[in-house]
A and B are shown apart, each in its own frame.
Chain A
C-alpha cells in the first residue's frame, strides 16, 4: 500500500487530481454541515420571499475589486435605532417622523429601491407620507399610503411615481444630479418617513434597501437566489451521483462478466446477447424519455443509468481478461479444495480485475457528473435539488450569455470542469500505476 502511494506520488497529475478532489470533498462536507438538506431545499425552492433583500441578477461581490467595473453593493437602513420625533395630536393619534439616512458614494445608480414596512395595529393601518431628501437639500415627495402588515413599497417599480417623475426608473431621478443627466449625486441621501398612527399601541418600523449590482460570493440569479448556495450544494450531489453511478455500473458489469465466464454455456451466451441488445438501445434518449414520462428525480435517473450501464461494452474486455484468469493454476487450486462457483467468482476472479477496474472507475466519474449536467441542461434536472447543471439551465433559459451575465454560467461550468479534470487526472495516473505497459520510460 505504501509502495502504491510512493508510486502515485511520482505523477504530478495524480497529485493535482487528488488536491482537486480533496477540495471538492471538503466543499461537500462544508455544504452538508453548514446548510442542512431541508434548509437548502427550502431556500432554493421557496421562491422570492426567501430572498427579498437580495438584488436581482447581481454579480459576485469579488468582481467589484476588478478594475474598470462600476459595481454597487446593497445598502440597508432600518428605522430601528434611528432617532424619531413624535407629536401627539390627542385622541390616541400620533405623528411620528423618522429619517433613514445613508451615505451613497458609488458612481453607478442602484438597481432597485424598496421600502419594507412592519406596522403593528389593531384595525386602522397607519398612514405614511414619504419624501426623498437629496444631498443638495431638495425634497421629492414619494406619495402617501396606508401601510398594512408586511407592506412593501417598491419605489423603482411604482407606477404613480414613474408617471409623476416622467421616467421609467425613479431611482435615476432620486439619486441623479439635477444639473448633469445620468450622473449620480454622491453624498448623504435621506428617506423621510412621516407616519400618522391612529391607535395608542400602534407601531411602525421600516427598512429601506438600496439594491446593488454585486452580491455574495457568487452573485444572484433572476429570482434573487444566492447562486453560492446552489454551487455549494451542487458539489455533494454531483460527487454522489458520479460516484454511485460509476461504482454501480462498473462493479455490476465486472460481476456479470465474471459470472458469465465462470458458468459459461448459455449463461455466457445470454449475457453476450443482452450486451449486444443494450448496444442498440439509445442511451441518452432513454434517459430523456424516463425524465420526460416518468420521473425527474435524480435517484430514479441514477437507477436507470446503472441499469443501462450494467451490460455495457466493457463486459467484452472484462470477459477477455477473465477467460485468461479462469485458466490460472490458483483457480484450479480453489476448485480442488471444493470452493463453490460463486466463491470462486467473488473471492478469486473479481479481485484479479481490480487493477483494471479502479482507473476505469475513477475516469468514469466525470462522465456521469456531466451526464447529470446534460440532463439538467435539457430541462430534466431534479425538480427539487439545486445542481450545477440546473444553474446553467436557468442561466441559458434567461439568456445569460446574451445579456452579459456571464458569471451565472461560468461559475458552475468552472466547477464542472474542475471535477472533470480532477478525476480524469487521477484516473490516468492510476492507469499508468496499475498497468505498467502504458508507463513512459
Chain B
C-alpha cells in the first residue's frame, strides 16, 4: 500500500555511533521542543478562553476607572464632555498597561515566546505573600511546600511499593498477596477523598493531629521545633497520598514482576541453582530497570504540580492551590508560568529517559527504533 523503502535521508548505514547518537538526540530534542511550543500556545489560548478573558478585563478596567472618577471631586467638578474625555484617556492608559490595546493573536504569540524563554513576567492580580508581583517569586515561594510534601510522599510510595511488590512476587498466592489484590480497588478514590476521612478520624474525633496547614500558628521560633511542627502537619496529607495509591501500585508492580519472573531465562537460572537474591537482582530487576526508572521519573514530575484538591483540603500552601487561585483570578501569567515549567520538566525527563534507556538496556538501539 505504501512504498516499503524509507526516504533516503533516513538511510545512513555507514555513520559512526557518535554521529548517530548526536543526530538522534538533536532530532528528538527538536521534536520535544516543538511539542512544548504547541502545548504552551494551546495553554495560553485556553487560559484566555480564546481572547474571551480580554473582554472581562476590559469591562473591569472601565468599571474601576468609572468608580475612581466618581470618587474624585476634582474630576466630578469638570464639565461632562471633558470628564468623558478624561475617562477615555484613563481607560486607554490602563488598557495599554495591561497590554489590552494590541490584538489578542499578537499578544498570544508574544506571550508564548516570553514563556518559552522563561520570562514569566508579572502576575496580573496575584502577589506573593512577601508582596512581589513577579510570577517567578510567586512560584518560588510556593514551590518548597509542594516539593516537600509530594517528593517525600512519592519517594515513600515508590520505595514501599517496589520493595513490597518484590516480596509479594516471591511468595505469590500467600495471604498477604491476596489481601493486597483485594485492597487494590481502593485506589479508585483520589487522595483528597481519603484526606477527608483522615481529618475526620485524627483531627475531629481523636484530636491528635492538626486539621491542616503547614505549621502551627504562631510558628515556633526554634528551627527544630519548627521542623517538628511541619512534620506533624505532613502526617495526614502524606498518609492520604500513600493510602490512595499504595495498594494499586503494589498490585501493578507485583503483576509486572511476576510476568518477568515467568520468563524462560529465569527458569533456567533457577535450575542452575542461583540464590533467589541473585536471581532477583540479575534476572528480574535488571530487565525491568527501564520501566522502574521511567515510573520513578514520571512520579517526580507529577510532584511538581502538586495536587490542587489535596492542598485545598489540607490547607497546604503549595503550587496546586496557587494554580487554583490563579484560575479563579483569570491570572494567565501565573497559569502559563506554572504550566511552562511543568512542560519543560516533562520534556527534559522524556529526553533523559531516552538516553538512560539506551544505557541500561542494551536491546534499545539509539537511532534505530521504528525502522527495522
Q: Is A232 part of the contact surface with B, judged by Cβ < 8 Å?
A: no
Q: Is B88 part of the contact surface with A, judged by Cβ < 8 Å?
A: no
**Closest partner residue, chain A, to B211 (CB atom):** A402
Closest chain-B Cβ to A260's Cβ sits at a distance in Å of: 13
Q: Is B290 part of the contact surface with A, judged by Cβ < 8 Å?
A: no
Q: Which one of A279, A285, A290, A363 lies within 8 Å of B335 (CB-CB)?
A: A285
Q: Which one of A374, A402, A440 lies within 8 Å of B192 (CB-CB)?
A: A374
| Given A285-B335, A378-B308, A421-B186 contact (CB < 8 Å) | yes
**Closest partner residue, chain B, to A288 (CB atom):** B327
Residues 197-214 of B, flagged 1 when their CB comes within 8 A of A and 0 if not, give 101100010000001000
Closest chain-A Cβ to B237's Cβ sits at a distance in Å of: 15
CA gap between A352 and B342 in the complex, in Å: 36
Q: Is A281 part of the contact surface with B, judged by Cβ < 8 Å?
A: yes
Are the CB atoms of A285 and B327 closer together than 8 Å?
yes
CA gap between A433 and B303 in the complex, in Å: 35
Are the CB atoms of A281 and B327 closer together than 8 Å?
no
Q: Is B259 part of the contact surface with A, judged by Cβ < 8 Å?
A: yes
Are the CB atoms of B324 and A280 closer together than 8 Å?
no
Contacts of A402 in B (CB 8 A): 204, 211
Are the CB atoms of A440 and B35 closer together than 8 Å?
no
| Given A13-B185, A285-B335, A280-B196 contact (CB < 8 Å) | no
Are the CB atoms of A282 and B305 closer together than 8 Å?
yes
Contacts of B312 in A (CB 8 A): 377-378
- Give the residues from 413 to 432 in chain A that come closer than 8 angstroms, CB to CB, to chain B: 413, 416-417, 420-421, 423-425, 428
Are the CB atoms of B173 and A292 closer together than 8 Å?
no
Are the CB atoms of B308 and A425 closer together than 8 Å?
no
CA gap between A428 and B47 in the complex, in Å: 38
CA gap between A416 and B186 in the complex, in Å: 11
Are the CB atoms of B197 and A413 closer together than 8 Å?
yes
From B37-45, B64-72, B96-104, B225-233, give the one contacting chain A.
Answer: B37-45
Contacts of A421 in B (CB 8 A): 185-186, 188
Inter-chain contact total with CB atoms closer than 8 Å = 119
Are the CB atoms of A420 and B188 closer together than 8 Å?
yes
**Closest partner residue, chain A, to B43 (CB atom):** A281
CA gap between A363 and B248 in the complex, in Å: 12
Q: Is A103 part of the contact surface with B, judged by Cβ < 8 Å?
A: no
Closest chain-B Cβ to A263's Cβ sits at a distance in Å of: 9
Closest chain-A Cβ to B48's Cβ sits at a distance in Å of: 9
| Given A279-B346, A377-B309, A370-B189 contact (CB < 8 Å) | yes
CA gap between A425 and B187 in the complex, in Å: 11
Q: Which one of A286, A290, A413 lies within 8 Å of B193 (CB-CB)?
A: A413
CA gap between A377 and B313 in the complex, in Å: 9
Q: Is B176 part of the contact surface with A, judged by Cβ < 8 Å?
A: no
| Given A277-B35, A280-B35, A294-B49, A378-B193 contact (CB < 8 Å) | no
CA gap between A424 and B181 in the complex, in Å: 11
Closest chain-B Cβ to A338's Cβ sits at a distance in Å of: 13
Q: Is A264 part of the contact surface with B, judged by Cβ < 8 Å?
A: yes
CA gap between A410 and B197 in the complex, in Å: 8
CA gap between A281 and B184 in the complex, in Å: 29
- Give the residues from 161 to 199 in chain B that come closer than 8 angstroms, CB to CB, to chain A: 172-173, 181-182, 184-190, 192-193, 196-197, 199
- Size of the B side of the interface (Cβ < 8 Å), in residues, is 53
Q: Is A82 part of the contact surface with B, judged by Cβ < 8 Å?
A: no
- Give the residues from 285 to 300 in chain A that come closer than 8 angstroms, CB to CB, to chain B: 285-286, 288-290, 292-294
Closest chain-B Cβ to A241's Cβ sits at a distance in Å of: 15
Contacts of A342 in B (CB 8 A): none
Residues 266-287 of A, flagged 1 when their CB comes within 8 A of B and 0 if not, give 0000000100110111101110
Q: Is A179 part of the contact surface with B, judged by Cβ < 8 Å?
A: no
Are the CB atoms of B185 and A289 closer together than 8 Å?
no
Are the CB atoms of B204 and A285 closer together than 8 Å?
no
Q: Is B330 part of the contact surface with A, judged by Cβ < 8 Å?
A: yes
Q: Is A353 part of the contact surface with B, judged by Cβ < 8 Å?
A: no
Q: Is A3 part of the contact surface with B, judged by Cβ < 8 Å?
A: no
Are the CB atoms of A401 and B204 closer together than 8 Å?
yes
Q: Is A265 part of the contact surface with B, judged by Cβ < 8 Å?
A: yes
Closest chain-B Cβ to A346's Cβ sits at a distance in Å of: 17
CA gap between A370 and B199 in the complex, in Å: 19
Q: Is B155 part of the contact surface with A, judged by Cβ < 8 Å?
A: no
| Given A284-B308, A413-B197, A420-B185 contact (CB < 8 Å) | yes
**Closest partner residue, chain B, to A409 (CB atom):** B196
**Closest partner residue, chain A, to B204 (CB atom):** A401
Are the CB atoms of A424 and B185 closer together than 8 Å?
yes
| Given A370-B188, A401-B196, A292-B328 contact (CB < 8 Å) | yes
Closest chain-B Cβ to A210's Cβ sits at a distance in Å of: 30
Q: Is B25 part of the contact surface with A, judged by Cβ < 8 Å?
A: no
Contacts of B35 in A (CB 8 A): 273, 276-277, 280
Contacts of A358 in B (CB 8 A): none
Closest chain-B Cβ to A33's Cβ sits at a distance in Å of: 28
Q: Is A83 part of the contact surface with B, judged by Cβ < 8 Å?
A: no
Are the CB atoms of A280 and B39 closer together than 8 Å?
yes
Closest chain-B Cβ to A307's Cβ sits at a distance in Å of: 11
| Given A370-B193, A401-B199, A281-B255 contact (CB < 8 Å) | no
Q: Is B29 part of the contact surface with A, judged by Cβ < 8 Å?
A: no
| Given A276-B35, A288-B308, A406-B186 contact (CB < 8 Å) | no
Contacts of A276 in B (CB 8 A): 31-32, 35
Contacts of B184 in A (CB 8 A): 424, 428
Are the CB atoms of B39 and A277 closer together than 8 Å?
yes
Q: Which one of B46, B197, B255, B328 lies within 8 Å of A286 (CB-CB)?
A: B46
Contacts of B309 in A (CB 8 A): 374, 377-378
Are the CB atoms of B196 and A370 closer together than 8 Å?
no
Are the CB atoms of A420 and B308 closer together than 8 Å?
no
Closest chain-A Cβ to B236's Cβ sits at a distance in Å of: 13
CA gap between A424 and B184 in the complex, in Å: 8
**Closest partner residue, chain B, to A341 (CB atom):** B1
Contacts of B134 in A (CB 8 A): none
Contacts of B188 in A (CB 8 A): 363, 366-367, 370, 420-421, 423-424
Known: A13-B182, A289-B49, A413-B197. 10 other contacts (CB 8 A): A273-B35, A277-B42, A280-B40, A282-B305, A374-B190, A377-B192, A401-B200, A420-B186, A420-B188, A440-B173
28 contacts between A and B (CB under 8 A): A273-B31, A276-B31, A276-B32, A276-B35, A279-B346, A280-B35, A280-B36, A280-B343, A281-B42, A282-B43, A282-B342, A285-B323, A285-B335, A289-B47, A292-B330, A294-B49, A363-B188, A366-B188, A366-B189, A370-B193, A374-B309, A378-B324, A401-B204, A420-B185, A420-B186, A421-B185, A424-B184, A428-B185
Q: Which 7 A-B pairs have the closest CB atoms?
A: A420-B188, A280-B39, A424-B185, A366-B188, A280-B343, A424-B188, A293-B49
